[in-house]
A and B are shown apart, each in its own frame.
Chain A
């Protein structure tokens, strides 16, 4: 989107009444407070794992380490997915009318799913990692009981159903207002005049459609697992299951990132004094992304040499190609918005802007990691957590935290604190990048990921973990400063 695209977009106010608007705000604030609480708990679990790897928490046995690893991975991905969905739902109410009832159902379903996952992992010690590769759940080596397997899959099932219903409702609302083709800016793509599709609507629709595909894969995996678990004659194929699981997992993470980008498209322009609209280039890029996102997951299976060779090629080519529209359209657009603009730098704009920077730097790592020849040396080393923590912690998490900050201030009218915002962002970035660079450094020195403790021949891993603890401390201070400001505003908004 260039300067000529700077035509103001005036979203139709779709909320029926002020009372409905208040209910949406209250619900979204509740979501943000839950997200903060989960974030803190999951962050502490991450810290515990790094302490264990640094040989500073010897009481953490491997059984609990892997249970915590499973909860940390699934929990963080799920927490920020619902955070993004809640944020997008709230912003979407300015354009369309999603169902408040479904949004409340999503909250309850998510809480139930979380309780089941916590029971399976922290109580039942279910420790397969987030990706529960077939047939590991059935080979517990005496660690987790059968009920933990059931609770884990029940939790995933509840979350899968809940999030699918939630996604479908948002798509319904979008289709009702714009038609599905309209929400995907197809008239713009064809060069036809017609109702304008705001970029936020386009990105949200593209993201949600990709999300549906991921959830469909998750449902298939769960049904196949269930059939085997119940003792039927079904004997699942590990390679097929691995493909389905990574299709689901990679898709979910991608969707979360794209929903975060949708928030950037919506929240950043007003803070820069510029406006955006959807042109043909933007429409083409996001429609293309829906297709490409479905095939890039193959890069998770490069080290399965028996995977058909064509799929390996598609994995690398798709991963390279998808980075071009992301960089040329979205990242460039954000730079355009800020360049020489009278930006109102506050917690929201800082976290949105530097969240996009995290997306860009994580993208550099993603391209490297999706190169089969490089993946041969980096797969399942600490390089990989470096990449996805950059994408997540320093990317989409910052975008959603920016939304929460915006929401808290909008609800309470508390003025910006630019000095505090700069300090918070500085500590967050310093600690966060220190953390991810130490992960990458470990990967470059052949340290595997998902090791509860490093054996003697990989003793350097413990040293790197100790160094990273310094950066984690800085990061935690930054997060606490953020929460001191934003969580207080959200709390006030809840009780108002």
Chain B
């Protein structure tokens, strides 16, 4: 069994199922270190997929699955660089995270996100690359990027458009409000709703079911039904970078980083 124990995440495989666990305090914010470790995972995924049927992504932190991109790191780094260098750095980060997420999205095995608590922004986008989302009843989903003057940058809109109705995408994106699990299931985002603290157990039961099918047939079915929206993903990076160059973003990031509001993801 191949295993990896990193600072922000770990993985291992057992009985045909790979488990990738996120464990970066306080809420699995995705910054440069998480990206590096996700890239290591993506590099190992081809080999892991040859010997396994399913992948489960989950978080061992009480706060939730992931609060998304590490906005503090983004703000601090962009403060230390001149504007063009900061913009180049953002584009490079986005292209790298897209590489990782595309690799998970098109992996020839069944992928399951077991989520609870905060599943926001980039964390939501990480869950969206999975074939199935199993959520406990305390999970919350949100795209708060517009408050910063941005759009989601880790492939969220193209993947949501692929999977859901456009009206739901607009609701999430344009209001910045969060959905609870019941709402998320109603709109078709979540495949199973389970009790508090039960998402990993339910995901394991689902993965166990998946291992009963022929791997190649499942991979063929997945490839047929789940195309990667590559052109829109590329366009998303361009739009994100155009918006990032605007002064409102720096102000939005500063406001967020310095905020003591109870709901800091709202404008």
Report if A and B associate in a common complex: no
A residues near B (Cβ < 8 Å) are none
Interface residues of chain B, those whose CB is within 8 Å of chain A, are none
